[in-house]
Amino acid sequence: MKNKIALFIFLTSAITSFAQTDKDDRKQEIRDNTQERQTAAKEKVDYNLFHRQMLGLKEYTDERKKIPALQKASKMSVKIVAYIDSVDDPGDGATNKTLTGYISENVGDNSVNVYEVTYDRVAKKIIAVKSTGETSDIEQDDNSGNKGEKKTTVKKSKGDDDDDDDDADKPTKTKSKKDNEDN
């Protein structure tokens, strides 16, 4: 009988101690999960705040003003996009104090980062906006054409028959000298 009572006391104490450690482990897991969710929520807030601040930049609005001219020159869809580079972010907001974002110009299939923007997570504001120096090919063509030469337009009267003569005088890049002599 004493053996049964001793065995019962031993099993009861073992079960209660086992239940206590399991409960403590579950509480610790819940705390860890809560902390992970809180850091994820803080990061999400940082990303959203940074993106909104990028959309309010003067540089972003200046690029948006160029859209009609670029669409006219390229005859393709043009988009100005602000995005955040989260690839190099280790996932822990405490270790990485800054975020990097870009203002990008998408013309058709070509994408060019026009500005690089740095955001300070501690101060909760944009600390640097620097131009990358990259421009789309269409924008380069427009800028080089406007700087070197001025375009002049000559109005012709309706009775002019010189339109056909202008085409014959212009050499093309694909024809060789022999082809030009034959014509």
3-state secondary structure the chain: CHHHHHHHHHHHHHHHHHHHHHHHHHHHHHHHHHHHHHHHHHHHHHHHHHHHHHHCCHHHHHHHHCHHHHHHHHCCCEEEEEEEECCCCCCCCCCCCEEEEEEEEEECCEEEEEEEEEEECCCCEEEEEEECCCCCHHHHHHHHHHHHCCCCCCCCCCCCCCHHHHHHHCCCCCCCHHHHHHC
Band of the pLDDT at 95, cuts 50, 70, 90? low
Residue 166 has pLDDT above 50, yes or no: no
Band of the pLDDT at 181, cuts 50, 70, 90? low
Band of the pLDDT at 133, cuts 50, 70, 90? confident
Residue 155 has pLDDT above 50, yes or no: no
Band of the pLDDT at 89, cuts 50, 70, 90? low
Look at 155 and 63; give whichever has higher pLDDT. Answer: 63
Question: What is the pLDDT, as a whole number, of residue 60?
Answer: 93
Residue 115 has pLDDT above 90, yes or no: yes
Look at 159 and 66; give whichever has higher pLDDT. Answer: 66
Question: What is the pLDDT, as a whole number, of residue 151?
Answer: 38
